[in-house]
Copies of this chain bind each other. A is one copy, B any other.
């Protein structure tokens, strides 16, 4: 039940960041008072959603062995991250989220292992070394985000997403 709440709240607030807490409560099928009891203020709710999303990401990434061959790691990451959909989108796009110092710090820490992985891939010649590591990482996020959008809009079948994301990210759009 509680797991559903953060999921629903994420979806509602992502669809309309100015949605009222009443809307969130109604969508979750609980009373507004109950929502207030768990999350005294709106900010508390938002931070909790961010924290939960970061937990989900940490959990998903914990399964991925970043020391394996680059290509396999990327396969795994895409397979793990794409299904997270709105949860990760919330982290990357929710307006004003980075203003909370704790969340900002966690977001920053989330990038660290990935940045190290990219740097390693570059040193080993698996990834282009003429691009900044952060650029490679953010491009990766961007392509995944594009895939989510397409899935949400019904343009892309979820099962097609990993192939599209990986081939575009690795090889670009030139034949």
Q: A46-102: which residues lie under 8 A (CB-CB) from chain B?
A: 93, 95-96
Query: Distance in Å from the Cβ of A165 to the closest Cβ of chain B?
Result: 9
Write out the residue numbers on chain B whose beta carbons fall within 8 Å of the beta carbon of A143. Answer: 139, 142
Residue on B nearest A174 in the bound complex, by CB: B170
* A175 and B142 form a contact (CB under 8 A): no
Is A43 interfacial (CB-CB < 8 Å)?
no
A contacts with B, residue count (CB < 8 A): 38
Which of A3-11, A21-29, A30-38, A148-156 lies at the interface with chain B? A148-156
Contacts of A139 in B (CB 8 A): 143, 146, 168, 173
* Choice from B127, B131, B142 contacting A142 with Cβ under 8 Å: B142
How many copies the complex holds: the figure is 2
CB pair B173 A127 closer than 8 Å: yes
Contact A172 B170 (CB under 8 A): yes
24 residue pairs bridging A and B, Cβ less than 8 Å apart: A16-B95, A17-B17, A18-B96, A95-B95, A127-B173, A127-B174, A128-B174, A128-B175, A129-B175, A131-B164, A131-B168, A132-B155, A135-B146, A135-B168, A136-B173, A138-B150, A139-B143, A139-B168, A139-B173, A140-B173, A141-B146, A142-B143, A168-B172, A170-B174
